[in-house]
Chains A and B, each alone.
Chain A
Amino acid sequence: MKLPDAEKLCEELARELRPRLTPRSAMIGLYTGGAWLAERLHALLALKEPLGLMDIAFYRDDYHAQGLHHDPKRTKIPFDVNGRELLLVDDVLYTGRTVRAAMNELFDYGRPASIALVVLADRGGRELPIAAQYCGARLEVPSGMRLRLTREASGKLALVLEPSRAA
C-alpha cells in the first residue's frame, strides 16, 4: 500500500486549521505519535497557549485485560481547560478507544467549551461513535496491520505500516 507523505499532510492540516482558530483555541497531543504531530502543528500555527501533552494510560479500557502499560508519560496540561476550544491531536484514528479515554481524562481537568479531533490519518475500523473533524487522509488498513507515525532523528515525520504485535 502506498502511504501518503506525513509532512505534506501535516502542512495541509495546518492550512485547514488556521482560519478556524480563535483566542480560546488550545492544543493537546496524545503520546507518542499524536504528541509529535501536535508539536509540529502547534509551531506551524504559532498558538499562543503552550502545548498540552497527554498520556491516557490511566484511562484505558483494556487495563483489566492488559495491565498497566509500561512507562506511562506524565500528562501535562499547562493551561486551564475550562472554556477552551480544544484541538485534540492524535496520529492515527482506529477503534476510537484512545479518544474516548482522552476525553474522560480531559474532563478531570475541567469543562472545555468544545473538543475537535485532529488526526493525520483515519484507518477505519471504528468501534465507538467517534469521528475526526480534521483528518489528513483516509485509508483502508486491514485489521492485522498497524499504521503509526514515526519521527526520525532529523525530526522528519513519516507514516509506516507494519504487522501488529500479537496481544
Chain B
Amino acid sequence: MQRSPQLNAKGELQHLLSIEGLPREILIQILDTAESFVGVTEREVKKVPLLRGKSVFNLFFEPSTRTRTTFEIAAKRLSADVINLNIALSSQTKGESLLDTVANLSAMQADIFVVRHASSGAPFLIARHVKPHEHVVNAGDGRHAHPTQGLLDLYTIRHYKKEFSRLTVAIIGDVLHSRVARSLIHGLSTLGVPEVRVIGPQTLLPTGVEALGVKVFHDMKAGLRECDVVVMLRLQNERMSGALLPSAQEYFKSYGLTAEKLGLARADAIVMHPGPMNRGVEIDSSVADGPHSVILPQVTFGIAVRMAVMSIVAG
C-alpha cells in the first residue's frame, strides 16, 4: 500500500491534509495532546514556548473568520509568529499560480502553511512541493476535507461521551456540500463508532454516501431516535446552485433541529454545530442555546486541537 502523503517514512504526521488515511494511533495522539493543551488554555499565561522562532503562514484563498482566527490564536499560544494572507484579495487576482505563491512565501522562511482553498486537493498539491522542513495543515479544501474541524468534533465527542465504542452519531443536513461531514465520518469510523447516520433530503446527500459505512435517513424523526450525538450542519446558501431546496422555511420544518425533535434522541445527547449557525434554518435558538448544546465548547477545544496538530507536525 502506498504511504499516506501526510506521514513520513517513520509513520509520523508530517502534514495534516485529511482524516481519511490517518491511522487510529495518530488520531488518538492528536486528541491526547490536545487534552494537555486544554490545560494550557485555562492558565493565566496561555502560552508555551514550543514553536518559538517558527513562522506560521495562514493562507486563506477563501474567506473564513473563525477558522483563521482559531489557527492564529493556536499558533500564537505556541509562541510562533503568525502571518495572515488574504490571498483572495492579492496576488492570485493578479494571476500568480498557487505554487508560485507558496514558493515566494517559502523564500520568506515559512515553517507551517495553514491552507484554506475552494478547490479540493489544493493543500495536497502544496504539500507535494514544499521543502522537507515545511509543513502543511489543511484548513478546508473545497468539498473535500476539513480535518481540524473533524478532529475538534472528535475531541468534543470524547470529552462528553468518554468512549467511542458504543455511540450512535447523527449528522444532519447539507452533507453534500460539507467537508466537515466527510472528515467527521472518516474519523468516527477509524475510532470505532458503531453507528453513524446521515439525515437529510435526497438532494443534499451525496450519491453513494452509504459506501462510507453510514446509515441514510430522510425522515429526521426516525434518524434521531436513540442518538448520543447530534451534529447539525450549516445550510450552505452560498454554495447552493440550482433548486435543491424549496425554501429555508420548508427546510426548517423537515430538517431543522427543535427541542421537540431533539426529545427523540437520548436524554443525555449532545448537540454540535461547526458554525456559523443559521438560527431558524437548521437549528432553533432554544436548542442552540439549550442545555444539550456544546457548540461554544467546540470552539474552545478547536484551539487546543489546532495547537496539538501544529506542534505534532512541526516537531
> Which A residues lie at the B interface, using CB under 8 A?
55, 57-59, 63-64, 66-68, 70-76, 104-105, 108-110
Contacts and interface: CB of A to CB of B under 8 A. Distances in A.
23 contacts: A57-B36, A58-B36, A58-B50, A66-B315, A68-B50, A68-B311, A68-B312, A71-B32, A71-B33, A73-B36, A74-B36, A74-B38, A74-B39, A75-B39, A76-B39, A104-B49, A105-B48, A108-B43, A108-B44, A108-B47, A108-B48, A109-B43, A109-B44
B35 interface: yes
A49 to B, nearest CB: 18
B12 interface: yes
Interface of B: 12, 29, 32-33, 35-40, 43-45, 47-50, 311-312, 315
Contacts, number: 50
Contacts of B36: 55, 57-58, 72-75
Nearest to B308: A68
B49 A59 contact: yes
Contact of B40 (A58, A67, A73): A58
Nearest to A65: B315
Contact of B12 (A55, A59, A64, A67): A67
Contacts of A74: 35-36, 38-39
Contacts of B37: 58
Listed from nearest, the 9 A-B pairs whose CB atoms lie closest are: A67-B315, A58-B48, A108-B45, A68-B315, A74-B39, A72-B36, A74-B36, A71-B32, A68-B311
Given A58-B50, A74-B39, A105-B48, 7 more contacts: A57-B36, A58-B37, A58-B49, A67-B312, A108-B43, A108-B47, A109-B45
A72 B32 CA distance: 7
Nearest to B54: A64
Contacts of B48: 58-59, 105, 108
Nearest to A81: B44
Contact of B29 (A55, A70, A105, A109): A70
Contacts of A63: 50, 315
A68 B78 CA distance: 12
A64 B315 CA distance: 6
Contacts of A58: 36-37, 40, 48-50, 311
A58 B38 CA distance: 12
Contacts of A66: 315
A73 B40 CA distance: 11
A63 B40 CA distance: 17
A58 B29 CA distance: 15
Contacts of A108: 43-45, 47-48
Contacts of B44: 108-110
Chain B CB count within 10 A is highest, among A55, A63, A66, A109, for A63
Nearest to A110: B44
Most chain-A CB neighbours within 10 Å: which of B38, B49, B311? B49
Nearest to A68: B315
Given A59-B49, A63-B50, A110-B44, A72 B315 contact: no
A116 to B, nearest CB: 23
A68 B49 contact: no
A104 B47 CA distance: 12
A72 B33 contact: yes
A53 B33 CA distance: 16
B81 to A, nearest CB: 16
A122 B33 CA distance: 30
A66 B311 CA distance: 12
Q: Which of B38, B47, B48 has the most CB of A within 10 A?
A: B48
A74 B33 CA distance: 8
A59 B37 CA distance: 12
Contacts of B33: 68, 71-72
Contacts of B38: 74
